[in-house]
Amino acid sequence: MRVQQGVSFSLILQLISLLFFLCPYGSQCIPHNDVKVFIFEKINNNTMAPKISPSAEPQPFLPLLAPSPSTPISNSSLPKLSGLCTLNFSAAESFVSTTATDCWASFAPYLANVVCCPQFDATMVILMGQYSKYSGMLSLNTTNAQHCLSDFEKILETQGANRNLKKICSIHPANLTEASCPVVDANKFESIVDSSKILTACGKVDPVKECCQQVCQNAILDAARKIAMDGMVSMPENSTRIDDCKSIVFRWLASKLDPSSANGVLRALSNCKVNKVCPLVFPDMANVTKECGYTISNKTACCKAMESYVSHLQEQSFITNLQALNCAASLGMKLQKANVSQNVYDLCHINLKDFSLQASKLPARPTAKPSQATAGKTTL
C-alpha cells in the first residue's frame, strides 16, 4: 500500500526525521539505521525524488528538518507574559524547550498522542511540582491557572511550537487546579499517603517492565484513592475524583525527584497508557462493507476500498507500534461485525506498517493469540 496524498511524502520524511530525536522518550522507536534504509528505499521508489548514489553518503533531500532538542526554533522577540503566573518556568527550562520541539508547529497534529501531548503534560507536572516546593500547594486556583497556561503557550509558541496546543492536547486551565480532589496541601498529602512506598515504586521506572508489572502505576493509584477518600466513607471505583487525585500525586512525585528523573518517569508512565489503546477514529465503513461484505465478488474493488480506508486512518496521526497492533485488532472486530468475514488483511496484503510507518519493522502478520482471538474471523 502507498500513503495517499492526504499526507505528502515529504511530510512523512520530515516526521520520521523528527523521530530520530525522539527515540529516548519511548521504547517503540525504530533503530536509526533501519529507518535510514527505509527512508532511502522510499525515496528511490519515488519518481519525483532525486537519485541517490549507493556509493556515497546521501545529501539532505529536505531543505528544513526538525530541530535538535538542544537548539529549538525561536524567534528574536520575547513573549509578552501576564506577570501574574506564580510558576517558575526557568525551573524546568530544558523541558520547556523539549516541549517546544516535540510540539513543533508543523508536526504537533500528527505526533500529538505519541510525543507532543505527553511531553506537554509532563512539563506542566514538573512545573507544578517545583511550584509546590516554595508554596506548599499542589494546585493553582482557577485565575492563576488561566494566566499560567496562557503564559506557557506563549513561551512555547516563541520557541516554534504549534499555536493550538490547548486544542490539540485538550488542555484547560482546570488541568492545573485541584479539580475535585480534596487534598492539595503538600503536608496534608504526606500525612495521608505512604510517601516512601511511592518513592520506592516510582523513583526509577523501567519503561518496559512498568507497562507489564505496573508497580509505579499501582502505587500512584493507591495514593490517589487514599487522598480521594478524605472525608468520605466510600467511593465508586471509577470515580473522576480518583483521576483528579492522580494528578495531585504526580505533582507531589515530581517535587521529590529532580526534573530529569521526573520527566523520565512521567514519560514512561505515559507510554504505558498510550500503548493500551488505539487512538484512531474509525470512520464509516459503508464502502468497505459494500465491496468486501459477505461473499467477495470483486477482489480488486474490495482491496481498493480497504486501501482507501486504511490510508485515511494513516492521515489522522502517527502511532506507536503497539498502538498499530491494537488498531489492527479493533478494525478487525469492526469488519467482522459489518459482515466482512473473509480475511481481507491477507487478501489485500494489508499489514501493520499500513497503520503506521513506525511499525514497518514489526512482522506483517503477528501471531500473538490475543490479536487473533480479538479479531475473530478477520484476523491479522
From 62-76, 293-307, 315-329, the region with the lowest mean pLDDT: 62-76
For the segment 250-267, the average pLDDT, to the nearest whole number, is 97
What local confidence, expressed as pLDDT, does residue 237 receive?
67
pLDDT for the residue numbered 362: 40
Whether the Cβ atoms of residue 138 and residue 128 lie closer than 8 Å to each other: yes
pLDDT band (50, 70, 90) for residue 50? very low
Is residue 111 located within the same domain as residue 170? yes
Q: Are residues 108 and 138 in the same domain?
A: yes
Q: For the residues of 129-146, what is the DSSP string, one character each?
A: HHHHHHH-BS---HHHHH
Give domain status of residue 30, yes or no: no
Q: Do residues 99 and 247 share a domain?
A: yes
DSSP state, residue 104: B
Number of domains in the chain: 2
pLDDT in tens, 205-240: 998 899 889 999 999 999 999 999 987 767 766 679
Q: What percent of the chain has pLDDT over 90?
A: 53
Nearest C-alpha neighbor of 256 from the set 220, 226, 228: 220
- Arithmetic mean of pLDDT, 47-56: 38
331-343 tens-digit pLDDT: 999 999 998 988 9
In a domain, 61, yes or no: no
Q: How far apart are CA 246 and CA 181, in angstroms?
A: 9
Do 173 and 296 belong together in one domain?
A: no
User: The C-alpha cell of 290 is what?
Assistant: 459494500
Residues linked to residue 137 through DSSP beta bridges, in sequence order: 185
Task: Give the length of the chain.
Answer: 380
Domain stop point among 228, 248, 274 = 274
Q: Is residue 322 part of a domain?
A: yes
pTM exceeding the 0.85 threshold for the entire prediction? no
Q: Let me know if residue 22 belongs to a domain.
A: no
Res. 357 pLDDT band, cuts 50 70 90: low
Q: Which residues does 311 contact at the CB level (< 8 Å), separation at least 6?
A: 1, 2, 3, 4, 6, 354
Greater confidence (201 vs 297) lies with: 201
Burial of 125 (0-12, 13-18, 19+ CB in 10 A): buried
Please, is 215 exposed, middle or buried when counting C-beta atoms within 10 Å of its C-beta (0-12, 13-18, 19+)? middle
| Those residues with Cβ within 8 angstroms of residue 279's Cβ, 6 or more apart along the chain or in another chain | 113, 316, 317, 319, 323, 327
Range of the domain at 226: 93-274
Joined grid coordinates for residue 307: 486501501
Query: Same domain, yes or no, for 99 and 246?
Result: yes
Last residue of one domain, picked from the residues 225, 245, 274: 274
* Residues 313, 288 contacting (CB under 8 angstroms): no
CA dist., res. 147 & res. 142, Å (int)? 9
**pLDDT class for 322, splitting at 50, 70, 90?**
confident
The answer on 314 and 192 residing in a single domain is: no
- The rounded distance, in Å, linking the Cα atoms of 66 and 18 is 5
275-297 in b/e form (b: 16+ CB < 10 A) is beebbbeeeebeebbebbbeebe
Return the DSSP state at 6: T
C-alpha cell at 96: 520547556
Residue 188 resides in a domain: yes
CA-closest candidate to residue 17, choices 37, 2, 35, 31 = 35
Please write the tens of the pLDDT for every residue from 85-94.
999 999 999 9
Does 325 lie in the same domain as 353? yes
- Quote the pLDDT of residue 122: 97
Q: Which one has a higher pLDDT value, 62 or 68?
A: 68
Is 257 a member of any domain? yes
* Residue 16 resides in a domain: no
Domain boundary at 226, 246, 274, which?
Answer: 274
Residues 311 and 236 in one domain: no
Question: Is 160 found in the same domain as 255?
Answer: yes
In a domain? residue 14: no
The pLDDT value given to residue 62: 34
Q: pLDDT tens across 96-106, in order? A: 999 999 999 98
Higher pLDDT, 123 or 42: 123
Same domain, 251 and 321: no
